[in-house]
Amino acid sequence: MSENSLFSRTLSIIESKRDRLLSGRINCIPLGLPRFENELAGIEQGKSFLITANSKVGKSQIADWLFLYNTIQQVIDNGLDVRLKIFYFTLEMTAEQKMLSAFSNILYVKEGIRIAPKDLRSTKADRILSEEILEIIKKYEPYFKKIEEVVEFIDDVRNPYGIYKLVRNYALDNGKVIYREINNNGQVIKVEDHYEPNDPEEYVFVIVDHISLLTVEKNPDNGMAMTLHETIGKLSSDYFVKLRNRFKYIPVAIQQQMSSQESLENKKYNKLKPSLDGLADNKTTQRDFDYIIGLFSPFRHEIPDYLGYDITVFKDNIRFLEILGGREGGGGTICPLYFDGAVNYFKELPLPTDTQAIKHVHEFIKKIRN
């Protein structure tokens, strides 16, 4: 059996991953959600994620928390022996807005200082940012330098092929494609077999927020403009699949739910939470991702109690993260999260049966509101 055969390479992969854990190394970046990690252990190379929610629920914020802030903090704080490269195609916000959000997040996580991005901008005479806060921000310059080092915020590439071309060029500059020969009607030709990165410990993320804001492309067959549905499909089923399968990159798409998902009819039948059928503009994206994750806010719909949690106390400070579908199962797994939108912060909540721990959370929420 050839050492370069599919069997040999696959066996080598599972042996290597086993040996890595036995030697104290990692095979995925933890999510920072202990109970949820029993189902989704973390972020692996060569896995793709679709994040979905209704408008203004926090789908961009949960994506930033999972794949940007938490990822970078895990690498720095825990000394993970991995390298990061994050291509962030931000179709809604500027790079400066993203960095301000990072300032707020780090100030809260590291110092317990709760200050929203709008207050960092000193928008009013009675809200001038203090010198003390400025100095604390400078204290955590290594975190922000790390963001600048590993994250490339891109707001001028908005079409699927442009996204694919930019990321593929990076792959070719940082690794090599291995070819194999096949017999095509008596003619021997070379085809792509697999990709070998220069740095096997590099995790490359490709985040698009959000895909309904993509610029439509032209159909190469007839030169006519594609529909938005076709454009989303091109990114999802063609380019993202290639980036995942060929290069073991980590595509992350953020996709809204249809506005009808929050209709009176759905409320009547208790079908308000995100669903695969509710994906806006192109439902077929669900076939292309390893994990489809929804985010739900019961407070938005005036639901007083949800899965044992008193929403009248939590109000807008609670979200429910759910695996809506995945190639390796886990559908229906739900993670309750404490949420603070002002500082883009999420934390896994205690189970509702842990009354003492829930009481502490309630007290904490009342304290920050006062």
Q: What is the pLDDT of residue 1?
A: 47
Whole-prediction pTM value? 0.91
Q: Which amino acid is at 136?
A: I
* Structure tokens that stand for 243 in this block: 């980036």
Residue 35 DSSP label:
T
pLDDT tens digits for range 230-271: 999 999 999 999 999 999 999 999 999 998 887 777 787 678
Q: What is the DSSP string of 276-344?
A: GGGBSS-GGGGGS-SEEEEEE-GGGGT-SEETTEEHHHHTTSEEEEEEEEETT--TT-EEEEEEEGGGT
pLDDT tens digits for range 67-99: 999 999 888 888 888 999 999 999 888 888 888
Tell me whether strands 202-209 and 83-90 are parallel, antiparallel or unpaired.
Answer: parallel
If phi > 0 it is left, if psi is from -120 to 50 it is alpha, else beta; for residue 295 that is beta
CA-based nearest residue to 59, from 209, 211, 261:
209
Q: What is the pLDDT of residue 145?
A: 87
Residue 78 DSSP label:
T
Residues of the chain below pLDDT 50: 1
Q: What is the pLDDT of residue 330?
A: 67
Domains annotated for the chain, with CATH where assigned, are 39-369 (3.40.50.300)
